[in-house]
Amino acid sequence: MGFLPISKKDLKDRGIEQPDFIYVCGDAYVDHPSFGSAIICRILESRGYSVGIIAQPDFKDSKSITVMGEPKYGFMVSSGNMDSMVNHYTVSKKRRKSDAYSPGGKIGLRPDYAVIVYCNLIKKEYKNTPIIIGGIESSLRRLGHYDYWSDKVRRSVLLDSGADIISYGMGEHSIVEIADALSSSIDVKDITFVDGTVYKTRKEEDIYDAIKLPDFEEIKADKTKYAESFYIQYQNTDPFTAKRLYETYDKSLFVVQNPPSKPLSEMEMDDVYELPYMRAYHPIYEKDGGIPALSEIKFSLTSNRGCFGSCNFCALSFHQGRIIQTRSHDSIIKEATECTKDKDFKGYIHDVGGPTADFRRPACDKQLKVGSCKNRQCLFPEPCPNLKTDHSDYVSLLKKLRNIPKVKKVFVRSGIRYDYVMQDKDKTFLTELCKHHISGQLRVAPEHVSDNVLKYMGKPKIEVYNRFSKTFYDINNKLGLKQYIVPYLMSSHPGSTLKDAVSLAEYVRDLGYMPEQVQDFYPTPGTISTCMYYTGLDPATMKKIYVAQNPHEKAMQRALIQYRDPANYDLVKEALLKCGRADLIGFDKKCLIPPRNIKNKIDKTTKRTNKANKSKDDIKIKGRINKKQNSHNSKKKTSGKR
């Protein structure tokens, strides 16, 4: 089939005079099922629609949107696989130095708030052409939301972009329904009936069977109202139980969110991943060194979607949902076999998983019939009695993949839920994982050690992680393997005080582990944790919680986890003294730092000593030179007299 058209010449070569849709994307064009743009475009193509792609247009020139002319039915717009602001900025709001989704990793090829900018470019050139927005940036900004980078509550991206409709979530069902409606001559303003979409209207009387959220001006002015609104949204993310929601702007404009699309069946998932992807970046990027993001996922396999782990700092509940959707073994094995035929395949499948690798079935039998519980989590604070814990299907899949000719090793690099693993009395999966599917290190995410902080994260108590860790090392000892757990840790999450950060530092000390990387909590749209960060309230209880927002305190919390780094000495010392933990400053093995920066002091003393010695040596050398010079001059004088 080849790559999808990216120019008028490509359209002409395919015999297309006018494409049905044009997809404008903030990522470079990579035709691989790990890229949402590729999935959406290939699905539309499979339904008989022609699609052109404008990848990373010049956002300073509206003419860059016109390279393929006007589409017959509409433009589709996405910022790409990441929110453009997360793509551009670190948690400290510093500009990143590279972009893995751009040619050669070059930064600056997409704008901030990319969806808004791209839509404005389109509106400038094609005022009446329908615009459908989607992807992670649109999904998580579909209603009024707190924006960390501007530190304010922003309107629905539907209004700021001027788009006509949002396809939120993964979008396979909704984008086809939207396309079919437009091709049936239904006006885009009348497409109000599709699940998984958000639309705008000025007729409140037409909104039926819906929950009215607090007005936008209310959530903008009152953090309590913001928390109330967010939690209503959070409780309506399940496709079986969710109600229609709507938000009022200026008393006469309404943004309406329809319930989420139903999860894909196994057959539908197989169909999505068996579309004719090129599994490569477009050849135009070869001269720039390709697209860095492809290298890690090119030989990775998606086996599932969704996550019932529901960590509070994760937006998966808002985007993919809590109901697990899986592909069949045959489909995954077929894709793996295709990978082995690639000239760049070295025998290694880099990953088999999804948001959580070992979730290969819904949390309980009822979820595919009546959905997830509104007011109860599957794993937190304790595993639900109805939870079905079974790794046998995943173990079977991994064994089949290992036996494919030319496959040397199959890695599992997606996260695993250690609390789910510990619920399984049969330790076959963990044994198989240690024996066959990791190479020296297993990365898991306890995130913190304070049970108070873990509660606000939606994570299990640290005792569960400790039991998992012991089991992991016991299994490796039996196997005769020296493999290690590398824990992911997070600083400054809502609820975390300096004292909690000190406790985490002590835990790291006792592990004898020096984390190379620490994630400072990043407030991104669509998470409970971001709501906590902005409001200082737990939206589930409306009780106040402590939030570290001061950059200096956040730096101290982060430094404590990496207390062995000499560059962090002053921050660690300040934090310990503020917490009344001077007992951790000293030379005892339980101490985190010495009473003074010994190394720096020694270095300074050594420099002064060396400088002094050098001066003395210089004086001695000069003295010897002068003595020799005087002797030489004396000889010259004597020689002259003779």
- Report the residue count for the chain: 642
The pLDDT of residue 610: 53
Residue 125 tokens, joined: 């050139």
pLDDT band at 611 (very low <50, low <70, confident <90, very high): low
Q: Determine the Cα–Cα distance for residues 504 and 486; give it in Å rounded to an integer.
A: 15
> Averaged over 311-330, what is the pLDDT?
94
CATH of domain 440-595: 3.30.750.200
Q: Which of 497, 528, 549, 490 is nearest to 151 (CA)?
A: 549
Average pLDDT over residues 238-263: 96
The pLDDT value recorded for residue 518 is 84
Per the DSSP assignment, residues forming a β-bridge with 25 are 55, 78
- pLDDT for residue 601 is more than 50: no
Q: Which residues of 183-205 are buried (b: 16+ CB within 10 A; e: fewer)?
A: eeeeebeebbebbbbbbbbeeee
Residues facing residue 585 across a β-bridge: 593
Q: What does the mean pLDDT of the chain come to?
A: 92
Whether domain 299-438 has CATH 3.30.750.210? yes
The mean pLDDT value for 340-354 works out to 96
DSSP character string of 500-545: HHHHHHHHHHHHT---S--EE----TT-HHHHHHHHSEETTTTEE-
Mean pLDDT, range 538-545, rounded to an integer:
97
What type of residue is 323? I
Which residue type occupies 249? Answer: Y
**Percent of the chain scoring above 90 in pLDDT:** 88
Q: Which residue has the tokens 């937006």?
A: 315
Distances (CA, A) of 340 to 128, 135, 337, 357: 47, 30, 5, 22
Of 210-224, 231-245, 575-589, 592-606, give the lowest mean pLDDT range.
592-606
Residue pair 412/349 in contact by the 8 Å Cβ criterion: no
Residue 202 has pLDDT above 70, yes or no: yes
Q: Where are the domains of the chain?
A: 8-199+251-257, 299-438, 440-595, 597-626
Q: Which long-range contacts (CB under 8 A, 24 or more apart) does 590-599 make?
A: 590/509, 592/505, 592/506, 592/509, 592/560, 592/563, 593/563, 593/569, 597/566, 597/569, 599/566
> Looking at 243-247, 282-286, 508-512, 525-529, which range is the least confident one?
508-512
pLDDT at 372: 92
CB 155 within 8 A of CB 97: no
DSSP state for residue 64 in the 8-state scheme: G
User: Tokens representing 597?
Assistant: 């920066």
According to DSSP, the residues that pair with 199 across neighbouring strands are 165, 256
Mean per-residue pLDDT, 267-274: 97
Give me the mean pLDDT over the 520-525 stretch: 96
Distance separating alpha carbons of residues 577 and 320, to the nearest angstrom: 44
Write down the pLDDT at residue 296: 85
Where residue 596 falls (left for φ over 0; alpha for ψ -120 to 50; beta otherwise) is beta
Span of 208-222, 236-250, 617-631 with lowest mean pLDDT: 617-631
Q: Please answer whether residues 4 and 276 qualify as being in contact, where contact means their C-beta atoms are separated by less than 8 angstroms.
A: no
Instruction: Give pLDDT, residue 16.
Output: 97
Tell me: the pLDDT tens digits for 31-52? 999 999 999 999 999 999 999 9
Give the pLDDT confidence score for residue 629 in this predicted structure: 46
Q: What is the DSSP secondary-structure string of 195-256? A: TTEEEEES-GGG--SEEEPPPHHHHHH-HHHHHHHHHHHHTT--TTTPPEEEEEETTTEEEE
**Are 142 and 168 a contacting pair, CB within 8 Å?**
yes
Q: Does domain 8-199+251-257 have CATH number 3.40.50.970?
A: no
At 401-428, the pLDDT tens digits run 999 999 999 999 998 999 999 999 999 9
Q: Which is nearest to 233 in space by CA: 525, 457, 456, 526?
A: 526
Q: How far apart are CA 526 and CA 364, in angstroms?
A: 25
Q: How far from each other are the two terminal CA atoms of the chain, in whole angstroms?
A: 104
- pLDDT of residue 597 exceeding 60, the answer is no
For residue 8, the SS3 value is: helix
pLDDT digits (tens, 9 = 90+) for 104-131: 999 999 999 999 999 999 999 999 999 9
Say if 299-438 and 440-595 have the same CATH topology: yes
Q: What is the pLDDT of residue 619?
A: 46
Distance of alpha carbon 318 from its chain centroid, rounded? 13
The share of the chain scoring above pLDDT 70, in percent, equals: 93
Local structure of 161: helix, strand or coil: helix
- Beta strand 165-167 with 537-538: parallel, antiparallel or unpaired? unpaired
The pLDDT-based confidence of 88 (bands split at 50, 70, 90) is: very high
pLDDT for 624: 46
Residue 605 pLDDT more than 50? no
The two most distant CA atoms of the chain are separated, in Å, by: 125
In the predicted model, what is the mean pLDDT of residues 446-454? 96
Q: CA 201 → CA 144, 332, 590, distances in Å?
A: 16, 43, 63
Question: Backbone dihedral region of 82: left (phi > 0), alpha (psi from -120 to 50 degrees) or beta?
Answer: beta
- Answer yes or no: is pLDDT of 287 > 90: yes
